[in-house]
Structure 1
């Protein structure tokens, strides 16, 4: 609403500048709320005192080229999350591991190690080898925890 009010004002007028300040304050507030949520989320993970945290080396620039996903990835701010995670892992003395972006974390069965293709529209991982069924993201996170081929960042 504030942005629409600004667009109706005559550019350069006194009222336009007053409205511009309102819009800037609003955007600053939204930015600070998002930053606070990210920081509190990372701190809640770190306060569980894990031995290590494993993340994937994601191609964020490549993801930003996808017009359907670009806005979502920009809103999340993955780059900021990774940088803040590095800083806090250094402060807390927690090892931060990074797995290669081509590591098939979603395609490996976390129970038996069997690899099978996993299309993006399929949200449940069903292993044809051992019959295990788990949510795709939970299975991938277990595989990242069990990963042996990684680089230590912090």
Structure 2
């Protein structure tokens, strides 16, 4: 039996005292992370020409700072240890060439910290969750965690509007059998509606962000007129944050439902390996790409397919799916302004549908080779 992981996210309702401890922990984790990073940065600048010497350097741990800063002892020690692990991970990724050099965390950075299960310090108990330093915190557990799932760690976070959430990472044993591929679908990313599939169906994404743009702009203008840091400024900041959170929640809910629908009907989903960052920076595409949430959608789709032994297949982003005729295989230039594909063989079809069919065919070819 192979070990699998699954996370469950729930809303937390801490008391004022518990909320204060949580916010203190956010600050302490950020402080320790930045302190360790500052020392590592200084050492890197000093020894970057001597990689062997750099490898032998002993890096500071949270224990060092606890002796100097007594208030660090007030928060969960495991949260500080995880800050060190996160920095180690980022540092190693940099030296492997997988990411840029780690950057300092500001107060605007995502407010969160992670703690681990040690000797039953984390338990779910009748509408509450027992957590280190916090004791029992009220939780809105909208679905049950299976009894065979063992809690490994918890990540507490706070949104910009002041809501608290907990993500519970669990581990369980399950042998996932790879499904035989019978039903396959190709998806072509559509700027104005998430995707068009190879059957000709459109996702019809509601464009939640664009729907809310007018109201959001109005509330942001009000925020800009208020004195930064004042009580009224903070109230208005929360109003803006709530609108943004509503859009994010609507988007996530839609993506979950749409991905579930695909996973239920197909054994393999074929998509293009797109550069979303590059597309978002392209002329006029920024808001459309951000609104769609294609990156989030593919991540959700991947883990749901994997859970059922199904596959998400990515084809090369340079594959000419748009330029190729899905009927005869001929290629021709296809400017963005041309929405209907017309071929000399007689084929006439929607640009995105034609592309989705080609993506499906290429995906089936790759799966057959594998």
Root-mean-square deviation over aligned CA pairs: 2.0
Cα distance, 1:25–1:135 mapped onto 2, change above 3 Å:
same
- Is the partner of 1:98 in helix, strand or coil? strand
Q: Does the aligned pair in 2 maintain the 1:6–1:20 contact within 8 Å?
A: yes
Cα distance, 1:11–1:61 mapped onto 2, change above 3 Å:
closer
Q: Does the aligned pair in 2 maintain the 1:52–1:97 contact within 8 Å?
A: yes
Name the structure where helix makes up a greater proportion of residues. 1
Q: Does the aligned pair in 2 maintain the 1:125–1:136 contact within 8 Å?
A: yes
Matches within 5 A, 1:25-40: 25-40=242-257
| TM-score (norm: length of structure 1) | 0.85
- Is the partner of 2:233 in helix, strand or coil? helix
Structure of higher RCO (CA pairs closer than 8 Å, 6+ residues apart): 1
Distance 2:228 2:318 in 1: 50
Q: Does the aligned pair in 2 maintain the 1:2–1:22 contact within 8 Å?
A: yes
- 2:256 is the counterpart of 1:67: no
Q: Does the aligned pair in 2 maintain the 1:99–1:149 contact within 8 Å?
A: no
Distance 1:149 1:59 in 2: 22
Cα distance, 1:59–1:149 mapped onto 2, change above 3 Å:
farther
Partner of 2:158: none
Displacement of 1:4 after TM fit?
2.7
Displacement of 1:151 after TM fit?
7.0
- 2:361 is the counterpart of 1:146: yes
Partner of 1:44: 261
Q: Can you list the C-alpha shifts for 1:1-35, whole angstroms capped at 9, x where unaligned?
A: 33233233232222222222222222212211111
Partner residue of 1:94 out of 310, 323, 336: 310
Cα distance, 1:18–1:120 mapped onto 2, change above 3 Å:
closer
Larger Cα Rg: Structure 1 or Structure 2?
2
- Is the partner of 1:3 in helix, strand or coil? helix
Partner of 1:104: 320
Q: Can you list the C-alpha shifts for 1:36-76, whole angstroms capped at 9, x where unaligned?
A: 1122121122222x121100011222212313112211222
Partner of 1:117: 333
Name the structure where strand makes up a greater proportion of residues. 2
| TM-score (norm: length of structure 2) | 0.38
